[in-house]
Amino acid sequence: MKSVTRILVTGAGGFIGHHLVNRLKQEGHWVRGVDLKHPEYEASAADEFEVRDLRNWDECVSATRGSIDEVYNLAADMGGIGYITAFHAAIARNNILINAHMLEAARQNGVQRFLFSSSACVYAQSKQKEADVVPLQEEDAFPAEPEPGYGWEKLYAEELCRYYWHDYKFETRIVRFHNVYGPLGTYDGGKEKAPAAICRKVALAANGDPIEIWGDGHQTRSFMYVDDCVEGLLRIMASNYRDALNLGTEEIVSINQLTDLVCEIAGKRLVKQYNLSGPQGVRGRNSDNSLLRRTLGWQPSISLRQGLTLTYPWIQKELQAAGRLRIIESVSAA
Ligand SMILES: NC(=O)c1ccc[n+]([C@@H]2O[C@H](COP(=O)([O-])OP(=O)(O)OC[C@H]3O[C@@H](n4cnc5c(N)ncnc54)[C@H](O)[C@@H]3O)[C@@H](O)[C@H]2O)c1
């Protein structure tokens, strides 16, 4: 019989955290979710859900109380490229407080394993200057030249995890996500990422309308469907690998290709209009999964087409439920 593990998920009110809680409950574990807010689109499946501000030490101590075996530390102040390039000071301060306090509180409360959710934003920017980028291997984070603010904080928190293993033999896992998307993710309001933003814009547009693209659309990324992300999280937590691992797909696409794919799924033809002053981030970024494959014997396998085919209808349905699609339809019919 499978043993029940007591698990804390921070950021359980957010996109990946909410999906992770669902999966952990399906696997039969006991789960406490903690976040500043409840999940936006459906109730949490967690056994306990606590609203806490994890920038505060006392809240981290309370969150990790009561014989917790594993912590998935996903709480972070974050958003898409527009958000993380606009708020360096607040993001860096908020996240370093969360991560430093969560690590120490988990250690003091006897947690067995601690997983830190890092990001591909830790990679040296000089290695991401071409759209046709060489996929990033874990060692490419050094010499350090990460994304300002958010990337520096993630890289520093990774180091902190390594120090905790070195000095205290505290078991840490470090996961570098490359752009995660899927249903129940933020699609509006400024914190959304490219796939969700493009799905929203396509859903709101009528056939033949213009669609705004930030930059010239030739910038490249890889995108991972959230089910692959959750599967990878469970596997990395269970592994014995303590250093950083990429978790992403190797399916690189330009933002133009991403837009064309969403248009195809939606059955619409739109006219791209480029906003060259819009934030773009690095020119090209892709994951090299060699180390992930060697370590886990597994890698994400859901294609972008499969993932978007599941994501676009969800965003369309949300917009419909909010009454926003009807408005567009009646405006364009007028
Ligand atoms: N989604 C991606 O593409 C991606 C890429 C790289 C890294 N990551 C990392 O993965 C993790 C989860 O990302 P996500 O996409 O689910 O983001 P998300 O914004 O949906 O979830 C993060 C959650 O953390 C919560 N939070 C923020 N500050 C908090 C605080 N002080 N106390 C308690 N909770 C707080 C937020 O309320 C939010 O619900 C984050 O650490 C993020 O940096 C995500």
- For 3-36, how does the pLDDT look when each residue is reduced to its tens digit (9 = 90+)? 779 999 999 999 999 999 999 999 999 999 999 9
Q: What is the predicted pLDDT for the residue at 328? A: 52
Q: What average pLDDT does this structure show over 233-255?
A: 98
Give the residue carrying structure tokens 């291997």: 137
Testing ligand 1's pocket by substitution, the residue of 99, 177, 223, 228 carrying the most ligand atoms inside 8 A of its CB is 177
Give me the percent of the chain exceeding a pLDDT of 70. Answer: 97
Q: Ligand 1 mean position to 69 CA, how many Å? A: 21
Res 2 pLDDT > 60: no
* DSSP secondary structure, 159-222, as one string: HHHHHHHHHH--EEEEEEE--EE-TTS--SSS---HHHHHHHHHHHPPTT-EEEEETTS--EEE
Q: Which residues line ligand 1 (CB under 6 A)?
A: 11, 13-17, 35-37, 52-55, 74-78, 94, 98, 117, 119, 177, 179-180, 186, 193
Q: Ligand 1 mean position to 185 CA, how many Å? A: 11
Q: What is the predicted pLDDT for the residue at 107? A: 98
Q: Please report which confidence band the pLDDT of residue 280 belongs to, taking 50, 70 and 90 as the band edges.
A: confident
Q: According to DSSP H, which parts of the chain are helical?
A: 15-26, 57-63, 81-86, 88-108, 150-168, 194-204, 226-238, 255-266, 290-296, 304-321, 324-333
Residue 159's contacts (CB-CB under 8 Å, 6 or more residues apart) are: none
Q: Please report which confidence band the pLDDT of residue 279 belongs to, taking 50, 70 and 90 as the band edges.
A: confident
Separation of CA 222 from chain center = 12
> Global pTM?
0.96
Tell me: the pLDDT tens digits for 292-328?
999 999 999 999 999 999 999 999 999 999 999 865 5
Residue count (the chain)? 334
Give the residue carrying structure tokens 């490419």: 140
Question: Would you please indicate which residues are annotated as catalytic (active-site) residues?
Answer: 150
Kindly report the number of other CB atoms within 10 A of residue 293's CB atom.
12
Q: Ligand 1 mean position to 253 CA, how many Å? A: 24
Contact indicator for 250, 310 with CB cutoff of 8 Å = no
- Rounded to whole angstroms, the Cα distance separating 290 from 285 reads 16
252 three-class SS: strand
**What's the token pair of residue 91?**
């993001």
Tell me: the pLDDT tens digits for 105-148?
999 999 999 999 999 999 999 999 999 999 999 999 999 999 99
